[in-house]
Chain A
Amino acid sequence: MTESSALVAQEMAEAERPGPEPRGSALRRNARWLLLAAAVVFALWLPFGLYPAVAVEILCWALFAVAIDLLLGYVGLMSFGHAAFWGTSAYATGLVAIHWGLPFPLAVLCGALTATVLAVPIGYLAVKRTGIYFAMVTLAFAQMIYVVANKWSSLTGGENGLQSVPRAITDNFYFYYAALPIVFGGLFLAWRIVHSPFGRVLVAIRDNPSRARALGYAVHRYKLMAFMLSAFLAGLGGGLFAMGHRFVSLETLHWTTSGKAVIIVVLGGIGTLWGGPLGAAAIVRLEDWLSFSGFEQIGLVTGGIFVLTVLLFRRGVWGTLFKRR
């Protein structure tokens, strides 16, 4: 009791009296605030410059990509099955909106929490593996969920998907601005996690798991927690995606959905957090442009971009999959 209150007092003292900062960091911090302000302005402008539906789509994929990046960039784990969380949340969000008539922020929260719960058993089994084996385990579970959703058509609508998910804000232009705070909230959460005591432990685990264990950190449990937080963020994105489209299809659970999220992060930059939104904007915009110009083989182009990024920035993906035990 007294010990913890002493700690609190110490923390408060620390908060008032920050330690000495290295030179030039004030400048860097100002630059960072400027960048952030520019990003916010850009986000506020987006539905004026693009079709609002496309802008909403970018928001959803930005959250999904950041969820992937949290694992890939800060724990060194590449999930190839995150569609399980995105899609499960999309279905759960759609279902609670249809059957309980929940307003969309609550429905999305329900979806994200469902994804988080689903992440417990999957993560529990997956985090015991690393590299390519981790990717395979997550992929296998995602495929299982896909099959279950397909078969369980009384709940999910099977091939037809969940039709006509109700939404009070019908205009996509206004829906974008209603969704934006949730997206900012999710991005802030990701930033907070990365720059927290927990985030520091994650980086230590990524760089040297044995050493972290020797210090007493329960590496598997930290990874599981990171996995759940990542699933929550992917779930936020997936829930918004369902509300954005007012429709949930099986494709939300398909492995190509997981692949697209990975492509976005790899393209945007692994371990940067900025990379997610940036890559999402680029890929979603590109896909929209391709389909608008009547191009059929969109997967070919994004796949090509992926291959090129992997070849040019080989260490990122390659190192994660093959250079770790």
Chain B
Amino acid sequence: MTTPLALVARGLSRDFRGFRAVDAVDLEVAAGTVHALVGPNGAGKTTLFNLLTGFLAPTSGRIELAGRDVTGLPPEAVARLGVARSFQITSLFGQLTSGEHVELALQAAQGGGWRFWRSDKLLHRHRPRARELLAMVGLGELEQSKADSLSYGRKRALELALALALDPQVLLLDEPTAGMGMEDVERTIELIGRVREGRTVVMVEHNMSVVGALADRVTVLQAGRVLAEGSYEQVRADEAVITAYLGSGSHAAH
């Protein structure tokens, strides 16, 4: 028996003015697994994420979410179908506090954003859950801090809290540990390990120790194409992957 597929890309391509950033990518992510997407800079990982979440329309190909065709749906519709993403380049609402960020995300998931005739104090009903989520990502003390004032690593943590607030079926994380110190990386590994229960996680990750610790399956992208796919050990031993990485010289697996 095969496990059901949470997320599928078939022949997915995306051109930017003649340049093919994602080239006929086939991807099958089994429900409940952690699937890592690796590859050198410019391989098309973020573009693939943008395609999967509706931020970019594919030039060709299709996307399925739990068997349902979601090709061409706008990002908010994909989000409401249970796909949450974090952004590689931290993307927050500068003037809102951490707490307000998470309240807003919880409201997005539960509805109520249309109520222009009610007080914004209504958002405080999400406060207990928001505090839990902030504590979970290590921002328990920083509920009142504006996003702009947070350090880089903490902004990354808030990104994660926002994605988790949506209680998604599928969690897409674009380089969740980029720029983090050792300690924060450890905590993030532990956190992803915890929140993966009952979800499917797809993550772009350069840090091979993170991939090794979490990923059930790894897809290697290069120049928009799938170069290899398999378990972490299989991919590490793959001739083509070794050549590609040593050839490009930028990211040796460590």
Interface set of A (CB-CB < 8 Å, partner B): 7, 10-11, 14-15, 18-19, 22, 192-193, 195-201, 203-204, 207-208, 210-211, 213-219, 222, 225, 229
Contacts and interface: CB of A to CB of B under 8 A. Distances in A.
A216 B93 contact: no
Contact of B116 (A15, A198, A203): A198
Contacts of A216: 76, 79-80, 108-109, 166
B105 to A, nearest CB: 5
Nearest to A22: B144
B74 interface: yes
A200 B127 contact: no
Question: Which of B85, B100, B120 has the most chain A CB atoms inside 10 A of its CB?
Answer: B120
Contacts of B93: 203-204, 207-208, 211
Chain A interface secondary structure, helix, strand, loop or mixed?
helix
B95 interface: yes
B80 to A, nearest CB: 5
Contacts, number: 114
Nearest to A202: B116
A203 B95 contact: yes
A213 to B, nearest CB: 4
B122 interface: yes
Contacts of B116: 192-193, 196-199, 225, 229
Contacts of A217: 76, 108, 113
B80 A204 contact: no
A222 B112 CA distance: 12
14 contacts: A14-B124, A14-B125, A18-B124, A19-B121, A193-B116, A196-B115, A200-B113, A200-B120, A200-B123, A203-B93, A207-B95, A211-B87, A218-B74, A219-B76
Interface in B54-77: 55, 74-77
B96 interface: yes
B107 interface: yes
Given A197-B113, A197-B123, A229-B116, A204 B87 contact: no
B91 A215 contact: no
B120 A199 contact: yes
Contact of A215 (B74, B79, B114, B122): B79
Nearest to A10: B125
A14 B122 CA distance: 8
Contact of A213 (B74, B114, B127): B74
A18 B125 contact: no
A208 B92 contact: yes
Contacts of B105: 215
A196 B117 contact: yes
B79 A214 contact: yes
Q: Which 4 A-B pairs have the closest CB atoms?
A: A198-B116, A216-B79, A215-B108, A213-B75
